[in-house]
Every structure is written in C-alpha cells, then in structure tokens.
Amino acid sequence: MKVAVIVTTYNRPDALALALEGYLSQKDKDYELIIADDGSTKETEKVVNHYQNKKIIKIDHVWQEDKGFRAAAIRNRAVANTSADYVIFSDGDCVPLPDFVSQHKYLAEKNWFVAGSRILLGSAFTLSVLKEQIPLYNWSMSKWITVRIKKDINRLSPFFSLPICNLLRKVTPNSWNGVMTCNMAVWRSDLIKINGFDESYSGWGLEDSDITIRLIRSNIHRKSARFMLPVLHLWHQENDRRSLIQNRRRLDELIKSNHFLATKGLNQYL
C-alpha cells in the first residue's frame, strides 16, 4: 500500500518547519509527503526546499496562486499529483507524533475513512514553541502533564493509547460531525469516486463536513482514531468567517439532496 501525506499550508513557514520535523521523525518513513500550498510566498518555498534537501523522505511541493482561501482546490491538486493508494490529510500547523503514519496505516481498511483527533495548544505556548522550534513530537508524558497543569494545552486524553478493538472504532459509521481534515485518511479511489473536495465552497468553513457527508453517502464509512493518533494543533488566530453563512446554505442543500459528487472537484486535475 503506497501512502501519501498531504499537508495544507498558507504563509506560516515557522509552523510548517516544526510540522516537517515531525514528519522526518516518523518511525515509518515509507510514505511520500506533499505540501499543498494555497498561495504562500517564497519563505514557505525556502522551508520546503530545506527539508527536500535532507532527502529523508520524498517531499513534493504543489502550489497555487493566492486568490483567497482555497483549501479544497489545493487538496484536489495534491491528490491528483500522487498515485498513492491511501491519502492522509493534515495541516501545516499540526505537528504529528512519531507513530502518526504507522498508526494510520494500521487503521486503513477498505470502505472506511479514518477520523483522527487533535490537541489544541494555547497562544502563548505556541509562540514560545515556534520561537525556539521545540521538538514537541518527542516529548515525554511528564512534560505534557506539566503544560496541561499550566493550561497550555486543552486536554491530555488523546495521548493515552487505548487498545480499542476494531469493532468499537466503527460504532458511529454514519456520523459526519466533528471530522476534521487536519487528521483524516481516505483511500484515493474513494476520493476519485466522490470527485474529491468541492471547490464550490467559497472561503473558510464546512468543506470538511461536505466531503465527509459525501463519503458516507457513497457507502464509505467513518472509523474513529480516538486514543490512538492525535496531532498537536498549534494556535492561530480565527479564520475569516465572512463566507460561513453562504457555506452553511450550501451544506444544508447537500444534506437535503442525495448526491455525493462534488460539483467542482478533483476531475479537473486528473
């Protein structure tokens, strides 16, 4: 099984550098990494080039012109750029733990997509981590307990790996709420089946819910990765939400319909 990790980024090179350190430190290095760049400046390109030159894993850089928030489009371009069987999605402000890729591979199963979780870092803690490029991905649990006591992270529970059987990970197969593309894995053939992400959504908001609903509607069901493979989500200011009302209308229309194909999607790039 060939695996690709697609990491979406936009003009946050310090956060991306820390995330890439986490990917280069994976226990399982048998995968390709694609930086899905939504129009960043040359500073991001310099960071990507630096890590490409290390030649530890294959890293591709897929870039599109900056025309506002177009995460759906750059993810579709990145999916079209790979021939991998299985695609793991995350963001450039999310740092993976060393077993992130191996655990996603372990959970991979035909006719299922995997929904992971995240641990949110506070603003002051994030600024300190980025300034010093602290390697959070190899911290001990005692350090995480300390920062939790200081309320620098929102929770500890995702760190605890529990031996949950495969059956229990499938108890909410048709639930789309709470699925986030900062930690989500899908078979590439299933993405092609539903025409990928829907680029009809304008600006930030609800494109994650849209693709999840369409996957479930096409008989690809949700499998939980809770208590197994969280990502460390660096703090950032809230995204511009001016498009949220319009995107909510679009999602409501999808919910009332029975279609599962993206109106404007992946097939443009294949």
Give me the DSSP letters along 58-72: EEEEEE---SS--HH
Q: Mean pLDDT of all residues in the chain?
A: 95
* pLDDT for residue 163 is more than 90: no
pLDDT, tens digit (0-9, with 9 covering 90-100), for 173-217: 999 998 999 999 999 999 999 999 999 987 887 899 999 999 999
Count of C-beta atoms within a 10 Å radius of residue 253: 10
**What's the CATH number where 247 sits?**
3.90.550.10
pLDDT, average across residues 3-9? 98
Question: Band of the pLDDT at 241, cuts 50, 70, 90?
Answer: low
Question: Band of the pLDDT at 160, cuts 50, 70, 90?
Answer: confident
Residue 215's domain spans which residues?
Answer: 3-268
CB–CB of 264/200 below 8 Å? yes
pTM: 0.96
pLDDT, average across residues 72-83? 97
Report which residue type is found at 262: A
Q: What's the pLDDT score for residue 188? A: 98
- Hey, what are 240's tokens? 């511009």
pLDDT, tens digit (0-9, with 9 covering 90-100), for 112-141: 999 999 999 999 999 999 999 999 999 999
pLDDT, tens digit (0-9, with 9 covering 90-100), for 251-265: 999 999 999 999 999
- For 32, 139, 166, 176, 231, the CA distances from 2, given in Å and listed in that order, are 8, 29, 22, 26, 22
Number of domains in the chain: 1
- For 204, 214, 222, 237, the CA distances from 240, given in Å and listed in that order, are 7, 25, 29, 9
Q: Which residues of 93-114 are buried (b: 16+ CB within 10 A; e: fewer)?
A: bbbbbebbbbbbbebbeeebbb
